[in-house]
């Protein structure tokens, strides 16, 4: 942060939580609120609060793709007991309609827990254009209307790696406030990782979550955000700042925060320092929970070869280094989710199997992200991995 005033220190609560036992999680959430100054510091009695959880797609809780229902239940119960009204919701990948929401809520275990605690599920599929004066590149955002119907928003993310963005946490979780297929349009408009990560910050700034919680009890490593493997982490993380929470979460799983696009943009925009200089961790020492062998997908840095090779050589090599989706047609069930979710529409179905025009692919990996049977891998050339070490 050379040349800038030192940023204020933001509190991040980091607690051990070994499993999805309801009482254990509720205790951790209550302690998280205490660590951050108390629930009454952020929520007023009678507030209508949106728990913006991660409901990417229909996945069973044990697959570690979505925010675990027991985690959601415990947080909702704490808020309801305090005197708040709780609405649980997200805009999953693909079309945004009542039928799809109902299927996702049921498959992810959210429908059941909402009934148990008396929380409302969001079925409002309307969208509204919202001005975003503090946005850098998104001055107007087409957001889910429920955002205008609540007093407060709490982000409830899942700790996962990500094929395009390396890591998906509290900041990227807010991408779900963008309505339905509008998310695909953003991918088309901003295929450049730097632009897209700036857009994610703009969206998070618009949403203004008063608190961010992260379900890091069992995370996902490898080919996330849906095709990776569950990995025991054993952490509940919370903060007033989603940006600083992500710095702690990435450090916890052995990722250099400075390599994560959303954190890079946060540093460039003066939101956080990208290290622990402006963070006060309350609870456990990060060393006690840190995982050094967490499997993290590599992403291609936009400036990887800048200043190292002539421009004409960089263009050729960068093209050779492009990661690409690879379809396992033996696993593919022909559901056409990849075809339906492809923002640039470069996937076609031939004999109920997908085929992609790689020269027109924008490398957003929405196909891999929304494949229900994990039939799509992201191939990263060896040359890319070698040059990433330069």
Q: What are the φ/ψ torsions at residue 207 (nearest 5 degrees)?
A: -65, -30
- From 193, 166, 172, select the one nearest 302 (Cα to Cα): 193
Residue partners of 296: CB distance under 8 A and separation at least 6: 161, 166, 167, 221, 253, 254, 255
- pLDDT per residue as tens digits for the range 6-38: 557 999 999 999 999 999 999 999 999 999 999
Element (H, E) at 189: helix 182-189
SS3 143: strand
CB-based contact 102:187 (threshold 8 Å): no
Residue 7 DSSP class: P
Structural domains in the chain plus CATH codes: 10-289 (3.40.50.11440), 311-387 (3.30.70.20)
SS3 241: coil
Residue partners of 312: CB distance under 8 A and separation at least 6: none
Residue 141 DSSP class: E
pTM: 0.86
**Chain length of the chain:** 390
- From 151, 146, 198, select the one nearest 172 (Cα to Cα): 198
Structure token pair of residue 53? 């959880």
Residue 147 DSSP class: G
- pLDDT per residue as tens digits for the range 202-228: 999 999 999 999 999 999 999 889 989
In a 13 Å sphere around the CA of 239, the CA atoms on its Cβ side amount to: 25
Residue partners of 27: CB distance under 8 A and separation at least 6: none
CA 288 to chain centre: 24
Neighbours of 288 (CB within 10 A): 11
* Amino acid 310: pLDDT: 64
- pLDDT per residue as tens digits for the range 35-78: 999 999 999 999 999 999 999 999 999 999 999 999 999 999 99
Arithmetic mean of pLDDT, 127-151? 96
The dihedral built from the CA positions of residue 204, 201, 389 and 327, taken in this order, carries a sign that is: positive
Query: Would the pLDDT of 304 be above 80?
Result: no
């Amino acid at each position: 942060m050379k040349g800038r005033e030192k940023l204020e220190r933001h509190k991040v609560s980091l607690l051990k939580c070994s499993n999805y036992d309801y009482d254990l999680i509720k205790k951790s959430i209550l302690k998280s609120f205490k660590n951050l100054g108390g629930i009454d510091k952020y929520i007023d009695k009678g507030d209508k609060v949106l728990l913006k959880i991660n409901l990417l797609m229909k996945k069973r809780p044990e697959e570690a793709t979505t925010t675990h229902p027991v985690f959601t239940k415990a947080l909702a119960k704490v808020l309801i007991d305090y005197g708040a009204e709780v609405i649980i919701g997200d805009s999953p990948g693909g079309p945004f309609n009542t039928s799809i929401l109902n299927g996702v809520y049921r498959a992810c275990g959210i429908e059941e827990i909402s009934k148990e605690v008396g929380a409302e599920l969001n079925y409002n599929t309307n969208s509204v254009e919202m001005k975003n004066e503090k946005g850098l590149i998104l001055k107007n955002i087409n957001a889910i209307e429920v955002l205008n119907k609540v007093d407060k928003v709490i982000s409830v993310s899942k700790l996962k790696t990500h094929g395009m963005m390396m890591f998906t946490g509290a900041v990227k979780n807010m991408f779900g406030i963008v309505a339905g297929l509008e998310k695909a349009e953003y991918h088309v408009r901003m295929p450049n990782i730097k632009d897209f990560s700036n857009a994610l910050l703009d969206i998070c700034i618009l949403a203004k979550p008063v608190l961010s919680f992260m379900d890091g009890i069992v995370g996902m490593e490898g080919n996330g955000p849906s095709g990776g493997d569950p990995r025991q982490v054993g952490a509940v993380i919370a903060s007033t700042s989603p940006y600083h929470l992500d710095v702690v979460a990435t450090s916890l799983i052995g990722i250099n925060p400075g390599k994560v696009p959303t954190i890079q943009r946060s540093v460039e925009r003066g939101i956080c320092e990208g290290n622990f200089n402006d963070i006060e961790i309350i609870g456990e020492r990060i060393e006690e929970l840190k995982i050094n062998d967490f499997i993290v997908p590599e992403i291609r840095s936009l400036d990887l070869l800048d200043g190292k090779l002539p421009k004409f050589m960089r263009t050729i090599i960068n093209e050779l280094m492009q990661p690409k989706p690879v379809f396992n047609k033996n696993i593919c069930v022909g559901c056409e989710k990849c075809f339906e979710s492809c923002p640039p529409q470069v996937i076609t179905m031939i004999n109920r199997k997908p085929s992609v025009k790689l020269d027109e692919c924008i490398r957003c990996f929405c196909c891999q992200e929304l494949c229900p049977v994990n039939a799509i891998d992201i191939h990263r050339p060896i040359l890319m991995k070698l040059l990433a070490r330069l």
